[in-house]
Amino acid sequence: MTEVRVPTLGESVTEATVATWFKKPGDAVAVDEMLCELETDKVTVEVPSPVAGTLSEIVAAEGDTVGVDALLANITEGAGAAAAPAAAAAPAQAAAPADAAGGANVDVMVPTLGESVTEATVATWFKKVGDAVAQDEMLCELETDKVSVEVPSPAAGTLSEILAAEGSTVEASAKLAVIASGSGAAAAAPVAAPAPAAAAPASGGKDVEDAPAAKKAMAEAGLSGDQVTGSGRDGRVMKEDVARAIAAGASAAPATPAAAAAPPRAPSAADDASREERVRMTRLKQTMARRLKEAQNTAAILTTFNEVDMTEVMAIRNAYKADFEKKHGVRMGFMSFFTKACCHALKEIPEVNAEIDGTDVIYKNYVHMGVAAGTPTGLVVPVIRDVDSMSFAEIEKGINVMGRKARDGKLTMADMTGGTFTISNGGVYGSLMTAPILNPPQSGILGMAKIQDRPMAIGGEVVIRPMMYISLSYDHRIIDGKGAVTFLVRVKEMLEDPRRLLMDL
């Protein structure tokens, strides 16, 4: 006897309503065949059969409210399934020799997610049930609070079962899927493939129950089932299919003579809904949003500004960038100058490099520099450790390595933890002035803006200089105004006269 239980419903969702049963007690079911559909406040969840056999008992009837992991039904497999129709039994009998020929089931598990990370969200499946896979071929991608994790196939064979659908939350070491490996996989695939085709005539295209949410949407839009093309299993109409049909009807309306003659009507909420797109935030964006709001709620954030004449830094960079790249194999950028200047200023104003822990202040006698970077999936802050002991070339190499890993989605939790201070360069996107939010538990973050030629009064004359506004957002609970302003002035002085960096002044 195999139990069918309520799957994970999503973060903060604890219960659902049984909307529709597609099987009744005594019906034969195949692996992954849809048994029922659950509805939550946000989404509709399909519950597939975990095994092949006979549905022996339905525990939760339609309309019942069930919690996560509650018992929905029981399935009898093995000898109990022998009473199933012959058509259903045939594929199972055909598959048995394949297993005997050397096939084996290999579980696909959630890989190690990183220190303190206990769960992830299944972002994308790149394979579907029945697809052939090679060993180490990517099966799916998981998202954690910080990074994306690729899950490769542990063996060559056929993807026989997906246990965690896209959007579901899985715990560390949970089972994601099953691979039928060995010679049995090759033999099972062609035999099992005709089974859905044979079942299709029996069910009949529109005998398949449409999603309850889709029925409701069709009723509100005045559409019938034959006006909507279903994208669900066995041609089942889903809510998204109804939205597409409404949108297609709206775009086709101007071409209809009757529609052209009809009087204009006021836009309705349904029209707006058909043009909207709801996309679930990635775990990375959810975590970023939560942490930024926590920083505002917890810290007393204040920002002070100054401006830097970048003439000397740009002159040094232009004079030595070719020799620098030739010797060190990396380009000389502005970030190494700013990082060096911050390290010197942090030694003079140590509270900017400290953090509050309860009623204690922890002063860090080292600098692990966070460098904020924008990626297609959101903002990340990889950390370059012990930058206070690095050379310009080592800093540039470290920034390049972390930047590449961020763009490729290869950052690990270790790459993004332990920072003591952060630099955020909004100037690369054209920002003229910026006041960044703290990256807790850090107490300070430096904001860089774009370099812009501006007229400046120098020595009684007006000259054009490349200027940059810089800012320091800081936690006023630990850093007072004098310390914050002094820190920013020291950064300004060392950038306007880079020789001070060499002489440790």
Using alpha carbons only, give the angle 354, 401, 329 rounded to the nearest 5 degrees: 120
Residue 186 · residue 136 · CB < 8 Å: no
Instruction: Count Cβ atoms below 10 Å from residue 485 Cβ, excluding itself.
Output: 15
What is d(CA 296, CA 314) in angstroms, rounded to the nearest whole number? Answer: 36
Q: Is the dihedral of CA 411, 417, 421, 422 positive or negative?
A: positive
Residue-wise over 318-329: b if at least 16 C-beta within 10 A, else e? eeeeeebeeeee
Whether the ω angle into residue 440 lies within 30 degrees of 0, i.e. cis, is no
3-class SS of residue 136: coil
- Set 69, 210, 480, 504: catalytic member: 480
Alpha helix ranges (H) inside 425-502: 481-496, 499-502
Contacts of 398 (CB under 8 A, 6+ apart): 384, 387, 390
Q: Is the dihedral of CA 109, 111, 112, 116 positive or negative?
A: negative
Active site residue 480: yes
Using alpha carbons only, give the angle 80, 23, 31 rounded to the nearest 5 degrees: 60
Strand-by-strand arrangement of the 148-152 sheet: 148-152, 138-143, 119-125, 169-171
Within 13 Å of residue 252, how many CA atoms lie on the same side as its CB?
6
Contacts of 43 (CB under 8 A, 6+ apart): 9, 10, 167
The pair of structure tokens assigned to 417 is 């933890």
- Set 328, 476, 497, 504: catalytic member: 476
What is d(CA 218, CA 226) in angstroms, rounded to the nearest whole number? Answer: 11
Closest CA to 493 of 309, 332, 321, 316: 309
The three-state DSSP-derived secondary structure of 188-235 is HHHHHCHHHHHHHHHHCHHHCCCCHHHHHHHHHHCCCHHHCCCCCHHH
Residue 399 · residue 384 · CB < 8 Å: yes
Instruction: Count Cβ atoms below 10 Å from residue 220 Cβ, excluding itself.
Output: 12
Active site residue 476: yes
Contacts of 263 (CB under 8 A, 6+ apart): none
The pair of structure tokens assigned to 88 is 């259903």
**Residues forming the active site:** 476, 480
